[in-house]
Amino acid sequence: MQMIALGGTIGVGLFMGATSTIKWTGPSVLLAYGIAGIFLYLIMRALGEMLYVDPATGSFAKFASEYMHPVFGYLTAWSNVFQFVVVGMSEMIAIGEYFKFWWPNLPGWLPGLIAITTLVCANLISVRMFGEMEFWFALIKVVTIILMIVAGLGVIIFGIGHGGKPVGISNLWTHGGFFTGGVKGFFFALAIVLGSYQGVELLGITAGEAENPRPTIVKAVKDTVGRILIFYVGAIFVIVSIYPWNQLSAIGSPFVQTFSKIGITFAAALINFVVITAALSGANSGIYSASRMLYTLAEEKQLPKKFKLLNRHGVPLYPVLLVGLGIGLGVLLNALLPLIAPAAGNVFVMVYSSSVLPGMVPWVVILVSETQFRKVHADKMAQHPFKMPGAPYTNYLTLAFLALTLVFMILNPETRISLGIGVIYLVIIVLIYFKKHHHRAA
C-alpha cells in the first residue's frame, strides 16, 4: 500500500514540475513543500479516521456518496479519471523533454508517441503482475531519490565531484534572497506543489485489500506522508543548494541539470534514465487506474455496455483504448501548441496544472465527508484510536488553504487557463449527472 501510494505521488510533479516552482519562488519552494505536506497529512488523517471504521475499496468516492450526496461520488470518480489522463499527458510531454538530454534535436513528440503506443499495447496484452511491476517502479524512484540526496549532501558538505570544494548552502539566500518571488510567487508555486502530492489518496483505493486493514492503514498513513515529505523536501534542498536557482533552465528536469552542470555527468545520465522510467510508470498506472474506473462506471450503468467488454486477456478493451487516446493527446499538444500559440508558455505547466482542481476533488470530499462521518458514527468516536487531530477546525483550515491556492492559480497567467479547463470539466460532469438523475427519476 505504501509503495503504491509513494509511486502514485512521486512523478513528473516533482521530477519536472520543480523547474516551474523554483522559477516562481526560488529556494522558498522548500517551505512550500513543507507547508503543503502538513495539510496533506491532515487530509490523510481524515481519510484514515474513516477507513479505520470502514476500510472499503474505492473509499473516498463511496464516502462522498454516503456522507454528502451521490453527485459527489460521481464527480469524484470522474475527477479521478480526468486527473489520471491529464497527468499521463504530462508524463508524455515530460518524456519528450527528458530525451533531449541525449538528443537535443529530437522532436519532443516522438518519444511520447512511442511510449504511449507501447504502454497501451502492454495494458491490452496482460494485466498480471501489475501491482508487482508498480512496486518495483516505485522502488526505483524511491531509491534514486535517496541516492540523490546522499550524493547531494556529499557535494554540499565534502565537495565530492566538485574538486573537493564543499558547495555549502549559501545558494539558498545569495541570489535574490530566500523568497525571490515574494508572497505571490510563493503561492503560484503551491499549485504545482499540491499537484505533485496528488495521488497519495490511492491508499483509499487499496485499503480494503489489505490483509489486516486497520493496523496497516494507521501505519501507511503515518509513514507514507512522512516519507513523501522527506523525499520532496530533501530532493529540492539538494537542488537549490548545489546550483543557483536562477540558473536552472526551463528545459528538462532540474534533477538531471543539477548533476550535469557540476560535472557529474554519469549521475546525471543515470537520473535521466530513472525519471524516464518514472514517467512511464506514472502513465502506466494512469492507464490501469482510469480504465478500471471507467469499467466500474459501466458496471453501474453510468457508461454504455460496451465499456464492460473484456478482450481475450480479460482486459477492458474500450476503457484502455479511450484512456490511451486521451493520454496520447499530450503528444499532440506537445507538437502543435507551440506552433499554434507560441506565447502559450510552458506546455507542461499548462497541461499538468489542468489536473490540480479535479485532483483536489477527492481531498475536498474527504475533508467534508469526515465532518459528517463523525456525526453518523458519534458512538465510535470516543474510543477511536486514530482520530483526525483538531477536527473540525483543521478540516476548515485545510479547505481554506486549498481555496487560497486556487485563487492564486487565477492570478498566475501560466495556470489561469488550466484552472478554467478544470472548472469547465467539473461543471459538465455535474450537469451530466443531474440530467441522467432526473431522466431516471422521470
The span from the CA of 66 to the CA of 56, in Å, is 12
Q: Give the least confident one: 12-16, 123-127, 173-177, 252-256.
A: 252-256
Question: Residue 80 in 3-state DSSP?
Answer: helix
Are 162 and 238 in contact by the 8 Å Cβ rule? The answer is no
| Predicted pLDDT at 261 | 64
Q: Which amino acid is at 303?
A: L
Averaged confidence pLDDT in the chain: 84
| 341 has pLDDT over 60 | no
Burial of residue 256 (number of CB atoms within 10 Å: 0-12, 13-18, 19+): buried
Within 13 Å, how many C-alpha atoms sit on residue 139's CB side?
Answer: 6
Are 296 and 87 in contact by the 8 Å Cβ rule? The answer is no
pLDDT tens figures, 33-50: 999 989 999 998 998 898
The span from the CA of 262 to the CA of 204, in Å, is 41
Query: Domain range for residue 426?
Result: 2-441
CATH of the domain at 314: 1.20.1740.10
| Predicted pLDDT at 441 | 45
The span from the CA of 289 to the CA of 312, in Å, is 20
| 4 has pLDDT over 70 | no
97 confidence band (pLDDT: 50, 70, 90): confident
Are 204 and 4 in contact by the 8 Å Cβ rule? The answer is no
Give the mean model confidence (pLDDT) for residues 257-279.
Answer: 76
Give the mean model confidence (pLDDT) for residues 165-187.
Answer: 91
pLDDT tens figures, 197-233: 887 776 655 655 567 777 877 887 877 777 777 888 8
Give the mean model confidence (pLDDT) for residues 144-166.
Answer: 85
Give the mean model confidence (pLDDT) for residues 102-107.
Answer: 89
Neighbours of 425 (CB within 10 A): 18
256 confidence band (pLDDT: 50, 70, 90): confident
| 113 has pLDDT over 60 | yes
pLDDT tens figures, 62-88: 888 889 998 998 898 899 899 989 989
| Predicted pLDDT at 383 | 85
| Predicted pLDDT at 82 | 93
| Predicted pLDDT at 129 | 56
| Predicted pLDDT at 442 | 44
Q: What is the DSSP string of 283-350?
A: HHHHHHHHHHHHHHHHHTTSS-GGGG-B-TTS-BHHHHHHHHHHHHHHHHHHHHHHHH-GGG--HHHH
| pLDDT: which is higher, 262 or 327 | 327
| Predicted pLDDT at 59 | 67
The model carries a pTM of 0.86
The span from the CA of 308 to the CA of 302, in Å, is 11
| 29 has pLDDT over 80 | yes
390 confidence band (pLDDT: 50, 70, 90): very high
| 58 has pLDDT over 70 | no
Enclosing H/E stretch for 42: helix 29-53
Q: Which is nearest to 254 in space by CA: 24, 8, 23?
A: 23
> How many domains, in total, are found in the chain?
1
